[in-house]
Structure 1
């Protein structure tokens, strides 16, 4: 599977393929380019000497990624803060594994940080300290949640829009002190909360072209698709101010059309105006940043 310029299991050179085109810190395992909505997280054997022991849970559902900080308690600053807040900030989180012999980076895929936990772990001097563990779930496992047809209790019809919005805003934040067990289930639930609000806000009308939904779902609800305005891929929880309910034609056009970028930017501005009008605050001044997508 590809994510922008990167293909899973392919090998990449850190300087040539990450820093030269995107920038970001050339030292450390968490790279946060200032002009691109992406975070590059690097895992590898070298982290063991600093008390890091990254890897998949026994069921293969969640990747446990230790935060940065070689001495003392880890804190939610710099790269650690970036990973924790990447959903709310609209940042794509791409995970790479450093190869022991070649030093090349193997692309593991795009992930979503579902929650964080605190664990006692040794620092580089062997002293025990509080470490931060990020529980990461592959984003393609979440795309099904956005695409799935919902039945019965999942219908947004008749529910209070303000209540749905409040729940969706809460779902955009990363859960703290939540274990890796059940992380995928929790992120499905968070994705569903956002999806329900976005589709209720659209009320059966494409928020891009303003045409009625092209058909009904099997549960009788208008068929629209959640589109993540700030991110390369769709799927998983996001700040609902940056998710739109769009028809399949507009969705494909945004991702694959020659004018997709312009349409996406106009859609994003329209959704923001609506959301900030609802909240009765002025939209912030935003800087348009280049995406990872070629």
Structure 2
């Protein structure tokens, strides 16, 4: 948090990539963690006091969020939606402590929708960070940060208009076998047709085409593998198998 006395404003940043704080949106309320990286936080400390008194001190509070490293997205002016409350979070040393959480809402109303691609990328970053931790660290964080009041926010979804004919062609061309592992489909649909999922070798979001040449039929396991690994060797193999038809 940074305050400007000249403009009588307070800038707060919710960094979802590189921060020890557990900030989260619940509906249209951002539960924002106060200042203080070591030990219990105090409402009287520095800009915690400014934010806590923002309803009476005339300071305008502006929120930025970070979803990608070193990229700050301006969200808007925010107001205290309720009284601050305390909860336990780890400090920068990993020690358990009490922090102050400020429920904030946008002055303009509902929170802006963030691209679903951006949120998916953020989730992948967090999953990668989690994989670097020890079993004990992961369990401690899971138990400490698990909650019944799950954070959620609006996302702006970009939907590609895929051709149903291209998808159906890929499934029929495969003759009931996965184009990658070559195993038979794991089960049949109610109408008796093999269950396979269509996949674009070069993803649409990366500029791939929705064409017969770029579309294959995969079993659910291989489909997930392609989205997790996007392995170049697998892509070359799929292209070769499509071209062989």
Give the TM-score normalised by structure 1: 0.35
Structure number with greater Rg is: 2
Looking at secondary structure, tell me which structure has more strand per residue: 2
Give the TM-score normalised by structure 2: 0.42
Q: With a CA cutoff of 8 Å and minimum separation of 6, indicate the structure with the bigger relative contact order.
A: 1
